[in-house]
Amino acid sequence: MDEIEKEPDEYTRLLKYIDYEAERARHGGDEGDEEEEEKEMRRLWYAPWKKVPVDAEGTKKVPQSWLETDMLKGLSEPEISNRRNRFGYNELESPRENPILKFISYFRGPILYVMELAVILAAGLRDWIDFGVIIGILALNAFVGWYQEKQAGDIVEQLKAGIAMKATVVRDGKEQVIEAREIVPGDIVVVEEGQTIPADGKILAAYDDKDRSKAKSILEKRDASKNGNNHSSRSSSPGREKKEQANGGPDSGDRKEGGQDDKGREDDDDGKEDKGPSVFSCDQSAITGESLAVDKYIGDTIYYTTGAKRGKVYMVVAETARQSFVGRTASLVTGSNTQGHFQKVMNSIGTTLLVLVVLWLLAIWIGGFFRHVLIATPSENNLLVYTLVMLIIGVPVGLPCVTTTTLAVGAAFLARRKAIVQKLTAIESLAGVDILCTDKTGTLTANQLSVHEPWAVEGVDLNWMLAVAVLASSHNIKSLDPIDKVTVVTLKDYPKAREILKEGWITHKFTPFDPVSKRITAQVEKDGKQYNVAKGAPNAILRLANPPRELQEAYRQRTQDYAKRGFRTLGVACQEQGGEWKILGLLPMFDPPRSDTAQTIAEAGELGVRVKMLTGDAVAIAIETCKQLALGTNVYDSQRLMTGGMSGSDVHDFVESADGFAEVAPEHKYQVVEMLQNRGHLTAMTGDGVNDAPSLKKADCGIAVEGASDAARSAADVVFLDEGLSTIITSIKVARQIFHRMKAYIVYRIALCLHLEIYLTLSMIILNETIRADLIVFIALFADLGTIAIAYDNAPHARAPVEWQLPKIWIISTILGLLLAGATWILRGTLFLSSGGIIQNWGSVQEILFLEVALTENWLIFVTRGAGTWPSWQLVGAILGIDIIASIFAIFGWISGSQPHNGHTDIVTVVRVWAFSFGVTVVLALVYFILNNIPWLDNIGRKKRGVKDKTREDFISNLRMVTLVHQRGGNGSEDIFRFEPQAEVAKGEEKKEQR
C-alpha cells in the first residue's frame, strides 16, 4: 500500500489500487484487516495455544468469511465439524456436566469434610477397619447420589429429545431436515411460514428466486450506501431494527444529512432506500412485545425463536442460540448462582450439627483431662478414639445423598408425567407454593377457539354467511391463523355451507388482516360473478357496510350481548358485482375451558393454593372464563397496576386481593410476582415467551408451559410438556410427597446424631467407656444404607403449603434423641445387675449395645414418616435386611476381638433386645404423635404470609417514581446529580425530540 501511494502518476496509482483491491478481495482482506483480526483474537485460559475471535463483550465472534456460504450448496461435513467444535450446539442449555467431576462433587461439603477428617484420623490410629468402612460409606453415598441424579437427568434428556425443534438446511447441495441443535454458523436454512426461526440469521433470497439475480442487485444497491461497511457485520437487535426502519430503513443511521449517501446519490422520494419487496414477515412478540408481524426484506436479520408468518426464504445463520439476541437476553437471567432456599436449610442443619459436635468434643476432652484419660493410649479408650467416634456419629454423612436421591427419584417420577424439573431444589419450592399465577389460554382453557351460536341478519341464509366467512380466510392450511382455522373447521357442522364452497369459487386476491382497517378481505369469483368478501372487527364491518339504522341497532345490540358474555366477535360482509356492501352476520368465538380445569381449580383450593389468572385477553373474556371455572370474578385491567394512582401499600393490597388481571404484558407478570413475594407468599408463575424469562426467574417456582420458547424454558425451574392446569396441581402434590419424605428423614437423622452424642458423651465422662469405633462406623453405615429407601416410600401429601419450620424440627428431634439416649442408658444399666439384666445366658456388652442402638435407630424412620399410608415394600425390606445383619453381628460377635465367649450373644438375649427396642419404638411413636398435635408447636417457625409492611411498600413505590438525572457542568463547574419524577423526565425528553 505504501508503494502504491508513492506512485507519481495519478492514473497509474489508481490502476494499481484497483489491482490491489481485487487481490485483497480474493484473500478476504488486507494486512490491516489481519492486524484488526489479530486484535480481536483471545487465548483460551484452559488452552493457551488456541485463539478464538471475540467481540466487544468478550464472547465468541463468528468470522465474517463463515457467512459467505454458497446458498445452493451449503456447508460440507468437515466445515460443520470445525464450526461446531468452536461454537458448540445450537441450544441455550449449558453443556452437560462432566460425569467424573460431578461424581467428585459428592465428596465436597462441610459434612463430608468432617468424615474425610475422620478417615485421616482413623489412618493415624491405624484403625484400618474404620478407615476402610468410612471410605466405603463416603463412596457409597457419592455413587448412589450420582447415579440417582444421573438417572433422573437421562429421563429428562429423553423427553427433551422428543420435543426437539427441526430445521431444513442445505448441505452438500441437498436440502435435509435435521434437529435445530445441529445447526452451525454459516448454515443455509430454509424457513417458511408456520415455522420457528432456529437461529439469528440474514435473509439471502426468496425461496422461489434461486437464481439470486434480483436478491443480488438489491443487496449490491444497499451495500453501496453504507460507507463501505458490510451490512451483515452490524450488530443489531429487534428494537434497534424497528427504530431504524421507522427512520428510513435498517441503515438510515449511516446516511449523511441532506438525503444523500457518501457517493452523492439521493434517496427515494419518500426518504427510504429501495429495499425491494418484502419477502418475509415474522412474529417478534415474544421478544419485543409488539403484536403485529414485522415485514422483512432481503438482507434483514431474523431472530431466533420468532415465528414465521409469511413467505419462504433462504437464511444464512449468523449467530447460534447462545450468541443470539435471545440467548444473550436469556443469559442475564440464567447465569445466576444464588443459593436456593433448600441449600440454605441444608447448610443450616449441617452447620448446627457441626457446632454441636465441637461442643460435645469439648466436654469430652475436658472430662477426659479430669479423669486423666490419655490422648493416644490405651488403644481402645483414649481421647483420639473418642474424637474419631464423635466425628463419625456427629455428622449425618448420608444427608446429602438421601436428600439428593429423594429429589432425583421425585424428578424422574414427574418427568414421566411430562413435567421436567430442571433444578432438583425447585421441587421444595413447588411444595410450599400458596399462590399460582397462571395464564388462561392453553392452561385454563383448551386453546381451541370455537364458534358459539353464529348469528345471521334477518333474511340471510346462515350457511351463506358461514361460506362467505371461509372465503374471507387464508387458504394456506399449513399455517392457518387460529381465527381462520376455527372459521374453516366450523363448517364441519354445516354441510350446506360446504356445498356452497364446492360450486367452483376462484380467489383472485386475498388481503390478510390489516391492523388499520381491522378486517380481512378477498376478491372471489363464481360463474363469472365477482364478489368482495370481508371478515373483521364488528365496528370495522359496520363502517364498511353502513346499513340502515334498524339493522345497525340490532347489530350493535347483538355485539354487546356477545361482549358481555366474553365472546370475541367477528362481523361478516359481502359485496356483489361492485354493489353495496351488505352485513351478513356475526361469528361469536370463545376459547372454552378445559374439561378438567374447574375440578382442578377446586382441588387447588383444597390444597391451599390460590389461583390467579393473568391473561392478555380483554377483561370481559377473562371474567366470563372465571365464571365458568368457579374462580373469583375480581379481574381487573392490568393498567391499574401502573397508572392506578394508588400508594405502594394500596397496590400490594390490590394485587393480593384480586382474582386476576387481564390485558397483561410480561412486565405486569413480573410486578405481580414481586408484590406477592413482598407479602411473604411463595409464588409460582407460568409463562411462555422470551419476555416472560425475568418473571419466571423471579418467581419462587417458574413454570414454562407447553410450547414455551427456549428462553422461557431456560429461565424456568420446571418445564411442562403437557397442556392444562392438572399437570401443575399433580406436580404440587408430588412435590409435597417428596418434601414429606425429606422432612421425615431429617427429623430422623438429627435425632440419631443427638442420641449417640448424648449417650456416648455421658458414657465417656462417667464410665470412661464407649461403643467401639468399628461398631460405630457400622451403625452409621446402617443408618444411611437403610433409609435411602425413604425416597421410594408411600408418603402422603399435605393439604396445605408446606415449609421447614426448623425450630419445630429441632424441638421434636431433640426430644426423640433424649428418649433414645435414655433407653440406651436403661439397657446399659440392666447390665450392671448381678443377674445380668437383659442377658439370659451370655452376651457381650458391646454387641448388645450395638444391637439396641441399631434396632431403635432404624425403626425410628417408621415413626417420623408418620401415619396415613403404609410404608413401601422398599423401605420395609431395607430396614428388615439391616436389622437381620445387625442381629447376626451380635449373635456371632463379628469384629469383637477379645470379648467373653468370643463376643457371641445367645439367641434369647437377642430376642429380649428386639422386644425392648420394639417397646422403645412404641413410646417414641406416642410421643411423636402428641408433639405433632400441640397447637403452639405446630405453628412455631411457620412463615407468616400476607404480612403488610406499609412503610416499606410505600417507600419502594415512591422510589420507583423518581429517577437520577445527571447534568454536566459547563466552564469547569461540577456535574449536577438530582432526583426528579419520571414523568417530568419523560416530558423533558419529549420536548427535546420535538426540538
Q: What CA–CA distance (Å, rounded) separates 187 from 178?
A: 12
In DSSP notation, 863-899 reads HHT-SSSPPPHHHHHHHHHHHHHHHHHHHHTTT--S-
Q: How far is CA 226 from CA 47, 523, 858, in A?
A: 39, 42, 78
439 is catalytic: yes
Contacts of 383 (CB under 8 A, 6+ apart): 364, 365, 368, 373, 374, 375, 376
Q: What CA–CA distance (Å, rounded) separates 769 from 873?
A: 38
As given in the structure block, the three cell numbers for residue 638 are 392490568
CA nearest to 246, candidates 282, 271, 220, 277: 271
H helix intervals, 371-494: 383-394, 399-416, 426-431, 462-471, 482-490
Q: What CA–CA distance (Å, rounded) separates 429 from 153?
A: 19
CA torsion sign, 622 to 626 to 627 to 632?
Answer: negative
Using DSSP bridges, classify how beta strands 962-967 and 976-981 pair: parallel, antiparallel or unpaired.
Answer: antiparallel
Contacts of 543 (CB under 8 A, 6+ apart): none
Q: What CA–CA distance (Å, rounded) separates 574 from 581?
A: 6
DSSP 8-state symbol, 94: P
Q: Which residues of 858-891 are buried (b: 16+ CB within 10 A; e: fewer)?
A: bbbbbbbbbeeeebbeebeebbeebbebbbebbb
Give the sheet arrangement for strand 683-687, strand by strand. 419-421, 718-720, 701-704, 683-687, 435-438, 610-614, 660-662, 635-637
- The residue from 267, 439, 591, 883 that is catalytic is 439
Tell me the residue length of the chain: 995
**What is the end-to-end Cα distance of the chain in Å, rounded?**
46
CA nearest to 133, candidates 667, 813, 616, 780: 780
The helix/strand/coil state of 48 is strand
Q: What CA–CA distance (Å, rounded) separates 347 from 63?
A: 47
Residues labelled catalytic: 439
